[in-house]
């Protein structure tokens, strides 16, 4: 089975049952990367949560990344981090994490940013938002054309993000994305539990 899902955490982890849920989702063997993306929490809490998530990811052979915070990724020995355009610079993140860790970069809908990311030596680029996202407010909209361009021109893994669900993911994969990023569709789905939701992505 091809692992082509890049799973992003809910924005808040509301109860201990989340860890059991995460384990069940990762057990489906569909997820390649899991990104912990929690904005409003203390450093200590983030470290505690990261330690628990890391064990679950490792057990299920999933790469564990932390959003925005290379230093925390280093402390907890995560597999890497994801940085946005307004976060720490790629060079600094690489200095902190070293050459063997994964660093991905948000490139919105910009060929220029993607070429820059390749030049720096990023491990993957993320484009989006492709559809209306309920996870975060997005000022950038991406189109399918950038996925086709990336496949031809930059020859590196691409992640498509933003409003991706079981009704539109095929279009994204057919047009050249290597991975589909999901968050809201999995964790806040009113019709399905997380395992049922991820099993709809075949």
Dump pLDDT digits (tens) for 161-194: 999 999 999 999 999 999 999 999 999 999 999 9
Segment 119-124 shows an average pLDDT of: 97
Place of tokens 């050249």: 176
Distances (CA, A) of 9 to 22, 49, 97, 175: 9, 11, 22, 25
Q: Given this model, what pLDDT does residue 135 score?
A: 63
Domain count, the chain: 1
Q: Mean pLDDT score of the chain, rounded to an integer?
A: 95
* Amino acid 15: pLDDT: 87
Residue where the block lists tokens 């050459």: 99
Residue 162 sits in a domain of what CATH number? 3.20.20.70
- What pLDDT is attached to residue 140? 78
The conformation of residue 98, written as its DSSP 8-state character, comes to -
Q: What is the Cα–Cα distance from 133 to 57, expressed in whole angstroms? A: 25
- Cross-strand bridge partners of residue 67: 82
Q: What is the mean pLDDT of residues 39-55?
A: 95
Query: Under a CB-based contact definition with an 8 Å cutoff, are residues 19 and 52 in contact?
Result: yes
pLDDT band at 81 (very low <50, low <70, confident <90, very high): very high
123-163 residue pLDDT tens: 999 999 999 876 666 667 899 999 999 999 998 999 999 99
Nearest-10 crossing angle of helices 144-153, 111-120: 30
Determine the pLDDT at residue 126: 98
124 closest CA partner among 191, 78, 178, 186? 178
The pLDDT of residue 39 is: 85
pLDDT at 138: 65
Cis peptide before 128 (omega within 30 of 0): no
Minimal CA–CA distance to 33: which of 11, 78, 77, 64? 64
pLDDT in the model for residue 40: 87
Q: What percentage of the chain has pLDDT greater than the value 90?
A: 90
Two structure tokens written together for 19: 């860890």
pLDDT of residue 1 exceeding 60: no
Predicted pLDDT of residue 117: 97
Any idea what the Cα angle at residue 68 is, between residues 64 and 70, rounded to 5°?
70
* Residue 8 contacts residue 37 (beta carbons within 8 Å): yes
Given this model, what pLDDT does residue 133 score?
73
Full residue range of the structural domain in which residue 103 is found: 5-199
């Amino acid at each position: 089975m091809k692992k082509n899902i890049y799973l992003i955490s809910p924005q808040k982890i509301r109860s201990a049952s989340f860890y059991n849920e995460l384990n069940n989702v990762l057990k489906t063997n569909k997820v390649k990367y899991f990104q912990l993306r929690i904005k409003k929490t203390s450093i200590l809490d983030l470290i505690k949560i990261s330690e628990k998530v890391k064990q679950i990811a490792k057990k299920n052979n999933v790469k564990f990344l932390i959003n925005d915070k290379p230093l925390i990724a280093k402390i907890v020995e995560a597999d890497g981090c994801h940085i946005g355009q307004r976060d720490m610079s790629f060079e600094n993140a690489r200095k902190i994490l070293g050459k063997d860790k994964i660093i991905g970069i948000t490139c919105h809908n910009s060929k220029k940013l993607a070429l820059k990311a390749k030049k720096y030596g990023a491990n993957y680029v993320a484009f989006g938002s492709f559809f209306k996202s309920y996870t975060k407010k997005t000022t950038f909209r991406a189109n399918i054309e950038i996925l086709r361009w990336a496949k031809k021109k930059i020859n590196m893994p691409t992640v498509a993000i933003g409003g991706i669900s079981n009704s539109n993911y095929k279009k994204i994969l057919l047009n050249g994305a290597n991975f589909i990023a999901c968050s809201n569709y999995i964790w806040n789905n009113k019709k399905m539990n997380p395992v049922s939701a991820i099993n709809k992505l075949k």
